[in-house]
Amino acid sequence: MVARLVPHENASWDDASDLALLQLRAPVNLSTAPRPVCLPHPEHYFLPRSRCRLALWGRGEPAAGPNAQLEAELLSGWWCHCLYGRQGASVPPPGDPPHALCPAYQEEEEAGRCWNYSHWSLLCQEEGTWFLAGISDLSSGCLRPRVFYPLQTHGPWISHVTRGAYLEDQLTWDWGPEGEETETQTCPPTTEHGACGLRPEPAVMGVLWPWLAEVHVAGDRVCTGILVAPGWVLAATHCVLRPGSTTVPYIEVYLGRAGAIPLPQGHQVSRLVISIRLPRHLGLRPPLALLELSSRVEPSPSALPICLHPGGVPLGGSCWVLGWKDSRDRVPVAAAVSILMPRLCHCLYQGILPSGTLCVLYSEGQEDRCEVTSAPPLLCQTEEGSWVLMGMAVRGSQELFAAIAPEEAWISQTVGEAHFLPPSGYPYWPPEGSNLCPPDMARASGSPQAALFLLLLTPLIQG
C-alpha cells in the first residue's frame, strides 16, 4: 500500500521532471523478491556498450516482467549527442552529467508492434549490478524511444526526499573515461532534417558504413546502394534496371550489414522497394535512380543517411570509393582516391563524357580494391567531419562517377528529406565550349596515364 506520493519539485507533464516518489505504508523485506534496483550518483559514468534493458510500463500495461524487458546496448556519449542532441555543439565530457542516454537495440523486434503512448525505463548493468539509468517521455510514435533522460540529474531531489537512501553508496567503482573519451569532441554539421554522415568509431556491431545498402535485385545480382533519407536509397540505374526493362523488378534492401554473413538477429534492417524514381533526361537513360522503401528506417548507428554534397569538390577532405572486393562475401572495402581537377578530367576524356561526370585517380595500390559490377559510390569526408556522397559509378568504369550535384533539385523534390549540406569547395565543371587542353592531347588519348602526365607537365613547359 502507498502512504503518500511526492511529485518532483519541478513536476510538469511535458518534460523529464514528470517524476514522483511513492512512500510505502510498510517497508519491503529486501532479502526476498522483488529486489531493489540501484540508483546512480550524479557523477556516475555509464560505460559505452554497457548491457541494458528497456522495461515497458504505464497505465494499462502489464508488470515489467522478463518478457517485457528488451535487450539493449548503451551508445557512447558522442553518438548519443550527435545523433539525437544539439548538433555542432561540444559533446558533454564524461565527467559532467550527460544530457541524454541512448540505447541501441534490436530494431527488427519491433516489427508488427506499435508502442504508442507507452513509458519506458532504461536499466543498465555494470559488474553484475543493475541501475535505473534513465526514463523516457510518453512515446508519441510506434517505435521505442531512442533517447532517455538520465536519472543522475535527479539525484539530489531523490536523496533529499528519501533522506539519502542511495543503494550505490556501498559500491566502489574503479573505472572512468580513458584516452580520447576525455578530449573535447564536437559534432559535425548537420542539415534541417537531422543528423547525417556520422561514422561510428568504434564500429557498432561491425558496421563501419551505416549508409551502405545491399540492393538485391530479383535474386540474381547485388548492387551497391546508399541511404539518403529514412525512406530512400540511391543507386546506379544501370545496376538495378536491365536495359530496355519497363517493369520494376523485385528488390530487397539490407542495411546494417558487414558482409554476406548476417549479423545477430535484429541488428540488420531489411526493406522492400515499392517504387523506382528516375529523373527526366531527354534522349538518355539517367544514371541515378531513387528506390522508395516499404517503410522508413529509423536513424541509428547501424543505419543512418549520408549527407549529400551540392556541388564542387570539398576542400581539405579525403575521398574514397566504397564497395566490395568480392560481390559474394560483400565485406565493405574503401579505396583512397583523389577527384581530378576539372581541366584534367575534361582533357583526359574530351568529347566522350556525359555532363556531370566526376573523374578520380586511385592512390597507389588501390585500383583493384573494389569490383565495379555493383556500381560503387564515391564518398568524401569534409574538414568538419561529415561524410558526403559525391556520385555513383558509371557502367563498367572504376574512374568515372555520375555526380549527384546536377540532380539536387530532383532528389530534393522526390525525397523531401534529402540531407544536402550548404555549398562549399571549388566549382567542378569547366565552362561549356572552353578548350583548356594542350594540342598534344590527341596523340595521348589512347593512354590516360600518358595524357595525365602530359597535362601535369604542361605548366612546367609553358613556364
Amino acid 166: pLDDT: 56
User: Do 145 and 117 sit in the same domain of this protein?
Assistant: yes
Amino acid 463: pLDDT: 36
Q: What proportions of the chain, in percent to the nearest 5, are helix, strand and coil?
A: 15, 30, 55
Domain final residue, candidates 236, 261, 293: 293
- The number of domains in the chain is 3
Higher-confidence residue: 443 or 372? 372
Q: Which three cell numbers stand for residue 232?
A: 530512400
Amino acid 340: pLDDT: 86
Amino acid 432: pLDDT: 53
Amino acid 172: pLDDT: 52
Amino acid 412: pLDDT: 92
Q: In the block, which residue shows the cell 533517447?
A: 147
Higher-confidence residue: 204 or 158? 158
Higher-confidence residue: 25 or 379? 379
Residue environment code for 325-347, b if the CB has 16+ CB neighbours within 10 A, otherwise e: eebeebebbbbebebbebebbbb
User: Do 311 and 289 sit in the same domain of this protein?
Assistant: no
Predicted confidence (pLDDT) per residue in 131-141, tens digit: 999 988 665 56
Amino acid 419: pLDDT: 87
User: Do 108 and 224 sit in the same domain of this protein?
Assistant: no
Higher-confidence residue: 93 or 157? 157
Domain final residue, candidates 144, 172, 200: 172
Confidence label for 61 from pLDDT (cuts 50, 70 and 90): low
Mean pLDDT of the residues in the chain: 75
Residue 335 lies in a domain: yes
**pLDDT of 184 over the 60 cut:** no
In degrees, to the nearest 5, what angle opens at C-alpha 308 toward C-alphas 261 and 143?
Answer: 55
**pLDDT of 6 over the 90 cut:** no
Percent over 70 (pLDDT), the chain: 68
Amino acid 127: pLDDT: 82
Residues 6+ apart with CB under 8 A from 427: 311, 312, 342
User: Do 320 and 285 sit in the same domain of this protein?
Assistant: no
Residue 204 lies in a domain: no
**pLDDT of 433 over the 60 cut:** no
pLDDT average, residue stretch 444-454: 50
Give the domain CATH number at 328: 2.40.10.10
Residue environment code for 423-439, b if the CB has 16+ CB neighbours within 10 A, otherwise e: ebbeebbeeeeeeebbe
**pLDDT of 352 over the 50 cut:** yes
Give residue 233's domain range: 212-293
DSSP code, position 101: B
Percent over 90 (pLDDT), the chain: 14
Residue environment code for 153-163, b if the CB has 16+ CB neighbours within 10 A, otherwise e: ebbebbeeeee
Residue 325 lies in a domain: yes
Q: Which amino acid is at 129?
A: T
User: Do 286 and 313 sit in the same domain of this protein?
Assistant: no
Least confident of 8-17, 30-39, 353-362: 8-17
**pLDDT of 413 over the 80 cut:** yes
CB 227 within 8 A of CB 297: yes
Residue 66 lies in a domain: yes
Torsion angle defined by CA atoms of residues 371, 377, 382 and 384, in that order, rounded to the nearest 10 degrees: -110
Confidence label for 460 from pLDDT (cuts 50, 70 and 90): very low
